C-alpha cells in the first residue's frame, strides 16, 4: 500500500456540500481525489480505471445497490473502503457493509477532524485481512497439491507394485527430468493411469 500521507482517493457522495468538506479535509492531508461519484453505479469501472488507493463512501446508509457495487469491487479489484453513514443503522446493515468489503464503518457521519485516523485504520484493517486471506489461500493450495501427490503415489504403488518411498522417488525423478513441479508430474501420472487403466503389477 502507498504511503498513507499521500493517497489517491475515490469518493462516492451525492451531496455536494458534504463532498466539498471531504475534498478540503483530504487536500489538507496531502491526498488527491482522483474521482468523485454521486452514486455507486460506476464504482467498479472507475476503480479499475483510476486505481485509487482507498475508496470513501458517504451516504445515509448502505442501500442494496451500494452493497452490491462494493462487493463486486472487493471481489475484482479490492481496495480499502471507508463508509460514513449519516443515519444510525442497525447491526444487520453494518454487518452487510463489512461483508461487502468495508474496512472502516463510521456510523455517526463524516467528521473531517477524524478523517486521517479513520483512513489509517481502514488501510491497516484491509492489509491485515488480505494478508490473512493470502495465507489461507496458500494453505489451501498446498493441501490440494499434497492430495494430488498422495493420490499419484498411491496409484504408482498399486500399478507398479512398489512401496511409498519408491513411488515418491519415481515422481521426484520425473519432476527433475522434465523440469516440472512435483504436483504437475503427479497430476500427469494420475491422468495417464486413469486413462490407460493399467493393471496392477503386484510385488513378486
pLDDT at residue 61, rounded to an integer: 81
Nearest to 4 by CA among 30, 27, 33, 34: 30
CATH of domain 8-110: 3.40.50.2300
Are 143 and 125 spatial neighbours (Cβ–Cβ below 8 Å)? Answer: no
When pLDDT is averaged across residues 135-151 and rounded to a whole number, the result is: 90
Q: Quick check: 190 pLDDT over 50?
A: yes
Percent of the chain with pLDDT over 70: 93
At 13, give phi and psi (nearest 5°).
-160, 130
Where exactly are the structural domains of the chain?
A: 8-110, 139-196
Q: Which fold has domain 139-196?
A: Arc Repressor Mutant, subunit A (1.10.10)
Q: Report the chain's mean pLDDT, rounded to a whole number.
A: 87
Nearest to 181 by CA among 136, 140, 141: 141
The per-residue pLDDT for range 108-131, each reduced to its tens digit, is 777 777 888 899 889 998 988 887
Nearest to 24 by CA among 146, 112, 139: 112
- State the pTM of this model: 0.66
Amino acid at each position: 500500500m502507498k504511503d498513507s500521507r499521500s493517497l489517491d482517493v475515490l469518493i462516492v457522495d451525492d451531496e455536494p456540500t458534504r463532498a466539498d468538506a471531504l475534498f478540503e479535509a483530504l487536500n489538507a492531508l496531502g491526498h488527491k481525489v482522483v474521482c468523485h461519484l454521486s452514486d455507486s453505479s460506476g464504482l467498479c469501472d472507475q476503480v479499475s480505471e483510476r486505481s485509487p488507493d482507498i475508496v470513501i463512501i458517504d451516504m445515509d446508509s448502505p442501500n442494496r445497490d451500494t452493497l452490491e457495487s462494493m462487493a463486486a469491487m472487493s471481489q475484482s479489484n479490492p481496495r480499502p473502503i471507508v463508509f460514513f453513514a449519516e443515519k444510525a443503522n442497525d447491526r444487520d446493515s453494518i454487518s452487510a457493509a463489512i461483508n461487502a468489503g468495508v474496512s472502516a464503518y463510521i456510523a455517526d457521519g463524516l467528521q473531517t477532524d477524524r478523517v486521517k485516523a479513520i483512513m489509517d485504520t481502514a488501510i491497516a484493517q484491509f492489509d491485515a485481512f488480505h494478508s490473512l486471506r493470502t495465507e489461507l489461500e496458500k494453505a489451501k493450495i498446498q493441501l490440494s497439491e499434497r492430495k494430488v501427490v498422495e493420490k499419484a503415489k498411491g496409484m504408482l504403488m498399486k500399478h507398479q507394485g512398489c512401496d511409498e518411498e519408491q513411488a515418491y522417488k519415481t515422481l521426484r525423478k520425473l519432476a527433475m527430468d522434465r523440469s516440472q513441479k512435483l504436483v504437475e508430474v503427479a497430476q500427469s501420472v494420475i491422468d495417464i493411469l486413469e486413462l490407460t487403466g493399467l493393471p496392477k503389477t503386484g510385488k513378486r
